[in-house]
């Protein structure tokens, strides 16, 4: 076990076994490079050469060879990868493995909220995918048509995404916790012709009426003419005979083999929506030889995922990590562990039992989940056998040191690296991350993901070190969105309008003296108090250093003298009761760590923080609710009651 050390010191370094196993090491040595650092420099100075080497190393199959790797004729925002090539990611994720003799390898292990377990081999998954592709074609879905998928994490969820890809259709993933308005807005924007849903979902022992929610959404989405329904819970549901079709009936008696549609490398396969601060959600358009290859690349070279691994990423299809795990994991021939439910039901050790029972080797969670599970007590994790784990992953939120260490020590036993990973829906995967060949420091990233020419810059676009700046990417990469669905100008304005031919991601980042990277929060979340700019994550980490605080969200609000002051919303740890005295003590803890200028104006305790389904804290919504402003797009919100509590706090403050 490695020495935990202070927060600014390396706590893990790869041993000989990790280095010997590394797929990344084998890759760059086969290309003639002696070190990872040399290989990384090559990856960002010659993008075409690098990504050409990647698709060779991944042994991807092309029905028509590409003419060249990269075409920049239309400029970096519209970079075209592998022009002239024909590539279908599903053929590479399923048919290729079965054809190479891996048909009996497990592709998917699923466990439901009620403990039911189902397993599909690659051969079985291919058969089910082909049968559904036939059924979708019979329902009128063709190349380029859009299909909404509103399902919990089931085997059928993966099958639905894959069948659309085989058919050349474009799928729109929806969060399983969405309400009808959120679903309808996406179906309308994408002009979907069919929606795939189920009768109901199980969550914490209760039944969620998915079909009823889907019916309300379809009523507000006139382009949807058919609804394909998975029988999952067996509950009674409303039925439209002219529109609704049972999945099991649609796939009964159809051929078990489907000839994959010969898609071009840049044919779209998915439109995945990301919430905006204002206006309608943005539909990021992704192509066959883009997002899936980037996902496989990052899983292979950052997380060292190989065919003998079982990947378990706690996610939903509506978060990019769902499509990322399905496409990337299957392209690599690994096994996916898929879970319908919550990590602490029926007992607080549910997540750890899943790892133990199914021998997961790569586990990915959001820091928010760890902060929540910490409060249940260490005995729940210590009583489980987690020896199968090799690599821990995290994404979705910035870390605080205490939860990071808990994850590292209690879950990984101090022997598994935490690969911190951050990117976005539009990037198709990580901008910054880690690799198992490099040392690990608490809460940090090793640096940019291979192939990502990332930097941190000031307001004029000049590189900065040791201080917070904008995270940018200077070269295009495989996996970047081909723009927003039917909204070219919004895409250019969002990412390419700040500096010429440079992607500005919208995150604050910092590089320390040793070259480790840190994400400090979203640019629009950044606080500027008395001329000092600080990311909310720094304030929140200082807040949770107090024994009474389990998690926190820091926002900036107008102040007549300072320009902006800090307000912290905090969730109390179990066993601690909020009081004015405790709030004052938390304020003092933050001031002691960050300086008196950043002492919060107030610390307000609440039962919960507004979060998305993928556990991201919605600071902009907190700020808007507190100030009584319009909240913007909140369709991805998991817990609306938390927003009301923040708004109530704002009204109380205003009354004072």
**pLDDT of the residue at 524:** 64
Bridge-based pairing of strands 362-365 and 310-313 is parallel
Read off the pLDDT band of 611 (50, 70, 90): confident
pLDDT above 90 covers a percentage of the chain that reads 79
The terminus-to-terminus CA distance of the chain in angstroms comes to 53
Inter-axis angle of helices 619-627 and 640-655, nearest 10: 40
Residue carrying structure tokens 């090539």: 85
Phi, psi of 21 (to 5 degrees): -75, -25
Q: Closest by alpha carbon to 109, among 361, 337, 340, 322?
A: 337
Task: State the pairing for strand pair 170-173/146-149.
Answer: parallel
Q: How confident is the model at residue 1 (pLDDT cuts 50, 70, 90)?
A: very low
Confidence of residue 17 (pLDDT cuts 50, 70, 90): very high
Distance CA 608, CA 572 (A): 9
**Predicted confidence (pLDDT) per residue in 621-639, tens digit:** 898 888 888 776 676 677 8
Residues 228, 230, 236, 241: what is their CA dihedral angle, to the nearest 10 degrees?
20
Structure tokens at 278: 């204002």
Model-level pTM?
0.87
Please give the radius of gyration of the chain, using alpha carbons only, rounded to the nearest integer: 24
| Residue ranges of domains in the chain | 16-87+267-520, 95-250, 526-655
Supply 409's token pair.
């020590």
User: Would you say residue 502 has pLDDT above 90?
Assistant: yes
Which residues on neighbouring strands pair with residue 86, listed in sequence order? 64, 264
Q: Which residue has the tokens 């690799």?
A: 435
Establish how many alpha carbons lie within 13 A of residue 234's alpha carbon, considering only the half-sphere containing its beta carbon: 0
| Sign of the CA dihedral with 63 first, then 65, 67, and 72 last | positive
At 259 the pLDDT is 97
The answer to whether residue 576 scores a pLDDT higher than 60 is: yes
Identify the H or E element spanning 626.
helix 619-627
Helix/strand/coil for 571: strand
526-655: same fold as 95-250?
no
Using pLDDT thresholds of 50, 70 and 90, give the confidence band for residue 614: low
What pLDDT does residue 3 have? Answer: 37
- 3-class SS string, 132-146: HHHHHHHCCCCCCCE
pLDDT grade for 294, boundaries at 50, 70 and 90: very high
pLDDT at 539 (0 to 100): 87
Lowest mean pLDDT among 87-96, 393-402, 447-456, 635-644: 635-644
**Quick one: how many helices (H) and strands (E) in the chain?**
22, 30
Report the topology of domain 16-87+267-520: Rossmann fold (3.40.50)
Nearby residues of 334 by Cβ (< 8 Å), 6 or more positions away: 299, 305, 306, 307, 308, 309, 310, 311
pLDDT the model gives residue 653: 62
Which of 487-496, 530-539, 642-651 has the least mean pLDDT?
530-539
DSSP E strand boundaries for 181-291? 194-198, 201-203, 206-208, 226-230, 244-246, 268-274, 282-287
Range in 6-10, 90-94, 162-166, 391-395 the model is least confident about: 6-10
Mean pLDDT for the chain? 92
Strands 422-424 and 418-420: unpaired
- Please, which pLDDT band fits residue 197 given cuts at 50, 70 and 90? very high
Q: How many CB atoms lie within 10 A of CB 385?
A: 12
The size of the chain, in residues, is 656
CATH superfamily of 526-655: ANL, C-terminal domain (3.30.300.30)
Tell me if 192 sits within 8 A of 221, measured CB to CB: yes
Specify which residues 313 forms β-bridges with: 364
Output the pLDDT for position 204.
93
Cα–Cα nearest to 154, from 195, 87, 109: 109
CATH number of the 95-250 domain:
3.40.50.980
Residues 598 and 589: beta-carbon distance below 8 Å: no
Cis status, amide bond into 2, omega within 30 of 0: no
DSSP string, 325-380: HHHHHHHTT-EEEEE-S-TTSSSTTHHHHHHHHHT-SEEEE-HHHHHHHHTT-THH
Of 17-21, 507-511, 616-620, the range with the lowest mean pLDDT is: 616-620
At residue 529, φ and ψ (nearest 5 deg) are: -115, 120
Whether 2 has a pLDDT exceeding 50, the answer reads no
Strands 418-420 and 391-394 come out as parallel
- State residue 278's pLDDT score: 45
- Over residues 189-203, the mean pLDDT reads 97
Report the distance separating Cα 475 and Cα 455, nearest Å.
11
- Tens of pLDDT, residues 225-239: 999 999 999 999 999
Query: What percent of the chain is predicted at pLDDT more than 70?
Result: 94
pLDDT of residue 5 exceeding 50, the answer is no
Is it the case that residue 150 has pLDDT exceeding 70? Answer: yes
Q: Which of 345-349, 460-464, 521-525 has the lowest mean pLDDT?
A: 521-525
Cα–Cα distance, 442 to 434 (Å, whole number): 12
Rounded to whole angstroms, how far apart are CA atoms 621 and 9?
35
| Structure-token pair, residue 503 | 């992607």
| pLDDT at position 390 over 90 | yes
């Amino acid at each position: 076990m490695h020495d935990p050390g202070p927060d600014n010191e390396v706590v893990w370094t790869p041993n000989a076994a990790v280095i010997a196993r590394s797929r990344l090491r084998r890759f760059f040595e086969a290309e003639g490079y002696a070190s990872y650092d040399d290989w990384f420099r090559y990856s960002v100075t010659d993008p075409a050469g690098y990504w050409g080497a990647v698709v060779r190393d991944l042994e991807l199959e092309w029905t028509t060879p590409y003419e060249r790797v990269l075409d920049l004729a239309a400029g970096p925002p519209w970079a075209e990868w592998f022009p002239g090539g024909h590539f279908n990611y599903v053929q590479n994720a399923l048919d290729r493995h079965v054809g190479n003799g891996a048909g009996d390898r497990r592709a998917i292990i699923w466990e439901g909220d009620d403990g039911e377990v189902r397993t599909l081999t690659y051969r079985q998954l291919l058969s089910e995918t082909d049968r559904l592709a036939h059924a979708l074609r019979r329902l009128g879905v063709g190349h380029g048509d859009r299909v909404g998928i509103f399902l919990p994490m089931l085997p059928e969820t993966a099958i639905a995404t894959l069948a659309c890809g085989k058919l050349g259709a474009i799928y729109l993933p929806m969060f399983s916790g969405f309400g009808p308005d959120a679903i309808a807005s996406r179906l309308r924007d994408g002009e979907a012709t069919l929606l795939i849903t189920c009768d109901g979902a199980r969550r914490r022992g209760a039944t969620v009426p998915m079909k009823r929610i889907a019916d309300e959404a379809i009523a507000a989405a006139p382009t949807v003419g058919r609804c394909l329904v998975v029988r999952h819970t067996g509950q009674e549901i409303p039925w439209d005979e002219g529109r609704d079709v049972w999945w099991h009936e649609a796939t009964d008696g159809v051929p078990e083999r489907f000839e994959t549609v010969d898609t071009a490398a840049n044919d779209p396969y998915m439109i995945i929506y990301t919430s905006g601060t204002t206006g309608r959600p943005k539909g990021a358009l992704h192509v066959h030889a883009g997002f899936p290859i980037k996902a496989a690349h990052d899983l292979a070279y950052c997380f060292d995922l190989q065919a003998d691994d079982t990947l378990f990423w706690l996610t939903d299809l509506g978060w990019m990590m769902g499509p990322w795990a399905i496409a990337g994991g299957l392209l690599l021939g690994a096994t996916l562990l898929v879970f319908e439910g919550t990590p602490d039901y029926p007992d607080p050790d549910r997540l750890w039992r899943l790892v133990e029972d199914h021998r997961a080797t790569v586990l990915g969670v959001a820091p928010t989940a760890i902060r929540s599970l910490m409060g249940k007590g260490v005995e729940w994790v210590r009583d489980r056998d987690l020896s199968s784990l090799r690599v821990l992953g995290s994404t979705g939120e910035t870390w605080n040191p205490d939860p990071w260490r808990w994850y590292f020590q209690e879950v990984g036993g101090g022997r598994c690296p935490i690969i911190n990973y951050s990117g976005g829906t539009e990037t198709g995967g990580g901008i910054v991350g880690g690799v198992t060949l490099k040392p690990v420091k608490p809460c940090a990233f090793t640096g940019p993901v291979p192939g990502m020419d990332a930097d941190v810059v000031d307001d004029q676009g000049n590189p900065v070190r040791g201080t917070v700046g904008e995270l940018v990417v200077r070269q295009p990469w495989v996996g970047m969105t081909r723009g927003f669905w039917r909204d070219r100008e919004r895409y250019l304005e969002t990412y390419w309008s700040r500096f010429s031919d440079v992607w500005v991601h919208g995150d604050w980042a910092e590089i320390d003296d040793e070259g480790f990277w840190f994400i400090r929060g979203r640019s629009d979340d950044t606080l500027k108090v008395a001329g000092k700019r600080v990311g909310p994550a720094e304030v929140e980490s200082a807040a949770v250093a107090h024994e009474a605080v389990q998690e926190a969200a820091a926002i900036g609000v107008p102040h007549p003298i300072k320009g902006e002051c800090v307000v912290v919303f905090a969730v109390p740890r179990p066993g601690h009761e909020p009081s004015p005295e405790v709030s004052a003590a938390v304020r003092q803890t933050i001031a002691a760590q960050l300086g008196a200028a950043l002492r919060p104006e107030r610390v307000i305790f609440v039962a919960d923080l507004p979060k998305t389904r993928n556990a991201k804290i919605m600071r902009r919504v907190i700020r808007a609710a507190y100030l009584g402003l319009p909240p913007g797009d909140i369709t991805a919100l998991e817990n609306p009651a938390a927003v009301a509590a923040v708004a109530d706090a704002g009204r109380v403050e205003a009354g004072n």
